[in-house]
Amino acid sequence: MSKFKIRVTKMQSYTEENYLKTIYHLSVISNPVQTNAIAERMQTKAASVTDMLKKLSEKELVDYVKYQGVTLTEKGKLAAINIVRKHRLWEVFLVEKLSFKWDEVHDVAEELEHIKSTLLIERLDEFLEFPKVDPHGDPIPDQHGNFADLAFVKLSKLKTNDKGTITGVSEHSSPFLKHLEKLGLTLGKKIEVSEILDFDGSVELSIDGNKINISREVAKHILISK
Amino acid sequence: MSKFKIRVTKMQSYTEENYLKTIYHLSVISNPVQTNAIAERMQTKAASVTDMLKKLSEKELVDYVKYQGVTLTEKGKLAAINIVRKHRLWEVFLVEKLSFKWDEVHDVAEELEHIKSTLLIERLDEFLEFPKVDPHGDPIPDQHGNFADLAFVKLSKLKTNDKGTITGVSEHSSPFLKHLEKLGLTLGKKIEVSEILDFDGSVELSIDGNKINISREVAKHILISK
DNA sequence: TTTTAAATTTAGACAAATCTAAAAATTATT
DNA sequence: AATAATTTTTAGATTTGTCTAAATTTAAAA
Ligand SMILES: [Mn+2]
Ligand SMILES: [Mn+2]
Ligand SMILES: [Mn+2]
Ligand SMILES: [Mn+2]
């Protein structure tokens, strides 16, 4: 009879992975992460979230204090970043190799990110020539979970005459991305703020020699560098 | 109150898809397919299979007669072929684009085949330039489920002095494929039977100018054309 | 044609993930 | 500090897919 209990750390399920990823993303906004925030983002009910938090806590993937919220443990954070890595690499694949548009990739990547094979993901990384960012400008972590924290500023924070390059978006919905596409606001484009309208906060900017006006709401989700 | 019951044909689950595919493959050998055959191939218990057969029958994907076995309906067959199509296309991708060996692709494809996106699979097909066979020589069905029934003959059926080209294998396990690899018995290779040994039925063949001997068991799983 | 063996199905339980409704804890407001 | 509002958790069900053990049906053997 063994003196020690062998704890077989089972692999995470599809569902657990989605929870970990959600908690990871919400951690940026608030830490610890609250039950309702997770429920809303995952389109599920608070009661279901509570159940899962207990389970993740049991597996030592999160630190969970009743009524207070959750934080990822080191182990949980690494697991989460790994899913994010896979998600973003698949998005690059879809856009670069299969001609998907940047608003078409999200749902498929949401499924592909759960495929379990390190060989697959390392080979994919190599095949894509080790991309540093995904089609939405988000950084792609390396095998060890490290990635450069790109210095972004929201377009809505710029002042009149400020210049910069579009390097990311903080909203990934298809309607939003299609809207940007139509306006010519795609990654890499240089812009200059020509005016900020007083009455609605909307932003007028020069792009490719044209002047266009975008709502404050849209400006908030466009990330500018330099 | 509506007079008609609306039957929402739900999409198949990951598990249902695996059952359909298994039934499809077993149909080639015997029709109808028996419960135990499915259970054995899926590494599960007969009782679980019975439960699933009732469910698939309910969804009109199989014709199921208690104690007699199952047959795929037209609908079920199409669904099954679609999974097979995805499985084989992904295998080609892994080998052609990510340098996987032919014995490394199966398990990963087993997961990838369940990704739900027609756009993805049609684009993948295009990206791979519409391959007709997978890395094991198996035919890849088109979008409509049609594929050429390639005329194979088992190497074990050949007589002395018969010639032919290796165009497929009927066993996909990693050890078997690695074994073939080591012997130089890969797809496209031309062989000639030089002798069939009486006492154990093993086959001696010429390949690339060399003579090698393979067991009858191995010969049974090598498919030859022309 | 009984009897025996093999295959298959039912009955009843269980784990994962979800839900609704009700209870408990925390936070905000008077 | 007491009350109200919000957030979170529990209790109890439900669905999907699985299992073991027992009962049935079919096929094979005597
Ligand atoms: Mn996902
Ligand atoms: Mn992205
Ligand atoms: Mn599968
Ligand atoms: Mn194959």
Ligand with the closest atom to the CA of A94: 2
Using the predicted structure, report yes or no on whether residue A12 has a pLDDT greater than 90: no
What is the C-alpha to C-alpha distance for residues B203 and B214, in angstroms, rounded to an integer?
A: 5
Measured between CA atoms, the residue of chain A closest to residue B126 is A98
* Residue predicted with more confidence, B104 or A152: B104
Q: Kindly report the CA angle at A81 between A78 and A82, in degrees rounded to 5?
A: 85
pLDDT in tens, chain B (226 residues): 333 333 445 688 999 999 999 999 999 999 999 999 999 999 999 999 999 999 999 999 999 999 999 999 999 999 999 999 999 999 999 999 999 999 999 999 999 999 999 999 999 999 999 999 999 999 999 999 999 888 889 999 999 999 999 999 999 999 999 999 999 999 999 999 999 999 999 999 999 999 999 999 999 999 999 8
Question: Residue A3 — very low, low, confident or very high, per pLDDT cuts 50/70/90?
Answer: very low
Residue of A93, A96, A98 best to disrupt the B interface, most CBs of B under 10 A: A98
Q: Are A44 and A77 in contact (CB under 8 A)?
A: no
Amino acid at B155: L
- Omega cis (within 30) before A135: no
Instruction: Report DSSP letters for A166-219, one per residue.
Output: EEEES---HHHHHHHHHHT--TT-EEEEEEE-TTT--EEEEETTEEEEE-HHHH
pTM: 0.93
Q: Does B100 touch chain A (CB under 8 A)?
A: yes
Using the predicted structure, report yes or no on whether residue A200 has a pLDDT greater than 70: yes
Using the predicted structure, report yes or no on whether residue A2 has a pLDDT greater than 60: no
CB contact under 8 A, A108 and B120: yes
Tell me the shortest Cα–Cα distance from B25 to chain A, in angstroms.
24
What is the C-alpha to C-alpha distance for residues B99 and B51, in angstroms, rounded to an integer?
A: 40
CA of A62 to C1' of D28 (A): 59
Tell me the shortest Cα–Cα distance from B19 to chain A, in angstroms.
20
Q: Does A89 touch chain B (CB under 8 A)?
A: no
From the list B79, B151, B150, B87, the residue with the least C-alpha distance to B124 is B87
- Residue A97: CA count within 13 A, CB half-sphere: 23
Q: What is residue A151's DSSP assignment?
A: -
What is the four-CA torsion angle of A205, A207, A210, A212, rounded to 10 degrees?
Answer: -40
Residue carrying structure tokens 């060399």? B210
What is the C-alpha to C-alpha distance for residues B109 and A73, in angstroms, rounded to an integer?
A: 32
- Other beta carbons less than 10 A from residue B36's beta carbon: 12
Sort A12 into a burial class: Cβ within 10 Å, 0-12 / 13-18 / 19+. buried
Residue A79 CA, ligand 2 centroid: distance in Å: 18
- Residue B171: CA count within 13 A, CB half-sphere: 15
**Which residues 2-21 of chain B have a CB within 8 Å of chain A?**
none
CA of A134 to C1' of C15 (A): 37
Determine the pLDDT at residue A1: 35
Q: Among chain A residues 53 through 92, which have CB within 7 angstroms of nucleic chain D? A: 53-54, 64, 66-67, 69
Tell me the shortest Cα–Cα distance from B148 to chain A, in angstroms.
26
pLDDT digits (tens, 9 = 90+) for A98-142: 999 999 999 999 999 999 999 999 999 999 999 999 999 999 999
What is the C-alpha to C-alpha distance for residues A146 and A57, in angstroms, rounded to an integer?
A: 24
